[in-house]
C-alpha cells in the first residue's frame, strides 16, 4: 500500500471546496432533522390529528424513526457506489435525493386537505430521504478525511462532526424564529412549509459545489494501484480483472471491526440524538414553553461546536481512544443529573443540564469520525463505514426521541430515559476499551 501512503501523506492542504462540499450534505441532513424535530408538535397537528396531543406527538416522532429504517439499505447501496464508482458521484446523487425530498415535504397537502393520504405521503418521503441520508454523513466524512494527511485527520473529522451541530443549529434557529415571532394559526396555515423548501436551496448550492470536485487522494491512489487511469468511473473495469479472492476481499468488510463499530455507535447515537431532540422532550414533559426550550438548546449547541473541533484536533496528539473513553465515562456520570436539570421546568437549570451533556459528548464526537474512517481500508471504506454506522443509527438513534418520550410518558418519571442512555454509554465504553487506535498510521 506504499502508493496510497505516499499520496495521502504528501497531501499538505485540504482544498476549501472539499471541506465545504463535505459539510453541505451533513448540514442539510441535520437541518432537516432539526426542522422536523422542532416542528414535531406542528406536524402532529397537521398530519396526525388525534384527541390526545401526546399520542399525535408520539406518532410524529415514530414517523421520523421510520425514515431511519431505510438508512442501512441506502448506506449499503450508496456505500458500494462510493467504493466502485467514486466518492464524488455518490455524494452528488445523495444530495439530489435528500434535497428533493425536503422540498416535496414542504409542498405536501395536510390531513385536512387529502385525509389519510397526507401522512402516508409524508412517511414515503421520509423513507426516500432516509435511504439517501444513509450514506451522506459517512460519505462526506470519508471523502474529507481521505484528503487529510496523517496527524491532521482528527482535526478534519472534528470539523465534519461539528457540521452536524451547525446544521442542527441552522434548522433550530429557523424554527425558533418562526415559533417565537408568529402565531400558531399562521404557522399552521402554511409557514411551516418554508423551512423544508429552504432545505432544497441548501441542497442546490451543495450540488453545485460537489459537481466541481475531484476524487480523494486515497481513492485515486487505490485506482492507480489497481492499474486504472482516468476518473473513478473506470474502477468498474479494474474490478473485472480481479481474481475471485480479491473480489471477495473488496465485497466483504472485516467482520470484527464492522460489529465493533455497530456496538460503539449504540451509545453515541442515543446520546447524540437525545441532545438534539431535547427541545421536543422538554416541552413535552414540562411546562417550559417550546421557544424557551429551543433557545437553551441553541445556546448549548453553539458552545459545543468549537469544543468538538478542539477535541478532534487534540485526538491527533493523544489519540482517539483516550478521549472517547473519557467522554463516554463522563456521560455515564452526568446523565442522571442532566435529566433532573432539564426536566426542572426552569430555563437556567435546563440550560446548565444541556451544557453538561453536550460538553461531555463533545469529547466523544470530536474524534469519532476519524476513528471510524481509520477502521477500514480504502477499497471497502465507503461501504463498511456507511453500513455499520447506519445499522446502529437506525436501531438506536432514530428511535431515541420516541423512546425517551415514550418512557417518560409511560413511567411518569422524567428520569426513565436516563437509564436507556446510561446503558448505551456503558456498551460503547466497554467496546471502546477493546479497539485499536490507528490515529498515528497512514490510511491503507
Reply yes or no on whether the pLDDT at 6 is more than 60. Answer: no
Is the confidence at residue 4, as pLDDT, over 60? Answer: no
CA quadruple 146, 148, 153, 156: dihedral sign:
negative
Residue 56's pLDDT band (boundaries 50, 70, 90)?
low
**Per-residue pLDDT at 235 exceeds 70:** no
- Which class does domain 13-233+245-432 fall in? mainly alpha
Percentage above 70 pLDDT, the chain: 88
The overall average pLDDT reported for the chain is 84
Of 119-123, 128-132, 250-254, 358-362, the one with minimum mean pLDDT is 250-254
**pLDDT reading at 358 higher than 70:** yes
Q: With cut-offs at 50, 70 and 90, classify the pLDDT of residue 61.
A: low
The string of pLDDT tens digits covering residues 394-420 is: 888 877 767 777 787 788 777 788 888
Is the CB of residue 145 less than 8 Å from the CB of residue 231?
no
Helix axes 117-133, 87-106, angle to 10 degrees: 160
Which of 13-22, 74-83, 196-205 tops mean pLDDT?
74-83
Tell me: pLDDT of 171 over 60.
yes
Neighbours of 261 (CB within 10 A): 25
Model confidence over 97-116: pLDDT tens digits?
A: 988 999 999 999 998 899 88
Q: Give pLDDT, residue 294.
A: 80
| pLDDT score for 251 | 41
C-alpha cell at 271: 446520546
User: Could you tell me the pLDDT band of residue 248, with boundaries at 50, 70 and 90?
Assistant: very low
Q: What's the pLDDT at 321?
A: 96
Report d(CA 32, CA 19) in Å as an integer: 20
| pLDDT at res. 74 | 92
Grid coordinates standing for 299?
Answer: 445556546
Which pLDDT value is given to residue 71? 87
CB contact at 8 A, 8 and 218 = yes
Q: Where are the domains of the chain?
A: 13-233+245-432
DSSP H or E run through 107: none
Length of the chain: 444
In contact, 85 and 232? CB cutoff 8 Å? yes
Amino acid at each position: 500500500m506504499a502508493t496510497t501512503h505516499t499520496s495521502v501523506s504528501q497531501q499538505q492542504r485540504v482544498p476549501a471546496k472539499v471541506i465545504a462540499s463535505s459539510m453541505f450534505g451533513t448540514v442539510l441532513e441535520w437541518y432537516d432533522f432539526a426542522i422536523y424535530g422542532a416542528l414535531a408538535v406542528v406536524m402532529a397537528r397537521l398530519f396526525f390529528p388525534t384527541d390526545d396531543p401526546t399520542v399525535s406527538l408520539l406518532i410524529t416522532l415514530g414517523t421520523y424513526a421510520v425514515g431511519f429504517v431505510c438508512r442501512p439499505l441506502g448506506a449499503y447501496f450508496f456505500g458500494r457506489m462510493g467504493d466502485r464508482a467514486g466518492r464524488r458521484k455518490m455524494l452528488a446523487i445523495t444530495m439530489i435525493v435528500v434535497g428533493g425530498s425536503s422540498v416535496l415535504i414542504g409542498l405536501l397537502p395536510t390531513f385536512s386537505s387529502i385525509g389519510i393520504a397526507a401522512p402516508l405521503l409524508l412517511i414515503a418521503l421520509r423513507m426516500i430521504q432516509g435511504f439517501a441520508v444513509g450514506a451522506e454523513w459517512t460519505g462526506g466524512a470519508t471523502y474529507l478525511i481521505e484528503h487529510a494527511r496523517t496527524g491532521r485527520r482528527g482535526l478534519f473529522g472534528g470539523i465534519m462532526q461539528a457540521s452536524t451541530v451547525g446544521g442542527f443549529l441552522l434548522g433550530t434557529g429557523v424554527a425558533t424564529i418562526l415559533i417565537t415571532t408568529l402565531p400558531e394559526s399562521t404557522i399552521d396555515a402554511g409557514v411551516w412549509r418554508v423551512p423544508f423548501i429552504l432545505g432544497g436551496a441548501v441542497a442546490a448550492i451543495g450540488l453545485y459545489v460537489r459537481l466541481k470536485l475531484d476524487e480523494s487522494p486515497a481513492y485515486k491512489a487505490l485506482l492507480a494501484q489497481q492499474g486504472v487511469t482516468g476518473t473513478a468511473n473506470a474502477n468498474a473495469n479494474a474490478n473485472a480483472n480481479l481474481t475471485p479472492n480479491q473480489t471477495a476481499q473488496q465485497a466483504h468488510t472485516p467482520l470484527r471491526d464492522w460489529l465493533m463499530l455497530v456496538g460503539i455507535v449504540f451509545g453515541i447515537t442515543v446520546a447524540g440524538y437525545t441532545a438534539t431532540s431535547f427541545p421536543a422532550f422538554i416541552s413535552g414533559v414540562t411546562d417550559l414553553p417550546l421557544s424557551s426550550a429551543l433557545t437553551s438548546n441553541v445556546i448549548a449547541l453553539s458552545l459545543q461546536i468549537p469544543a468538538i473541533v478542539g477535541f478532534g484536533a487534540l485526538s491527533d496528539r493523544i489519540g482517539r481512544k483516550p478521549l472517547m473513553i473519557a467522554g463516554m465515562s463522563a456521560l455515564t456520570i452526568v446523565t442522571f443529573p442532566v435529566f433532573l436539570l432539564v426536566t426542572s421546568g426552569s430555563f437556567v437549570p435546563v440550560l446548565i443540564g444541556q451544557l453538561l451533556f453536550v460538553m461531555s459528548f463533545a469529547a466523544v464526537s470530536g474524534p469519532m469520525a476519524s476513528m471510524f474512517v481509520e477502521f477500514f481500508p480504502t477499497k471497502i471504506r465507503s461501504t463498511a463505514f456507511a453500513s455499520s454506522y447506519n445499522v446502529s443509527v437506525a436501531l438506536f438513534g432514530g428511535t431515541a426521541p420516541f423512546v425517551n418520550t415514550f418512557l417518560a410518558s409511560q413511567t411518569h418519571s422524567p428520569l426513565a430515559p436516563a437509564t436507556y442512555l446510561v446503558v448505551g454509554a456503558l456498551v460503547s465504553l466497554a467496546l471502546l476499551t477493546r479497539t485499536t487506535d490507528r490515529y498515528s498510521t497512514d490510511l491503507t
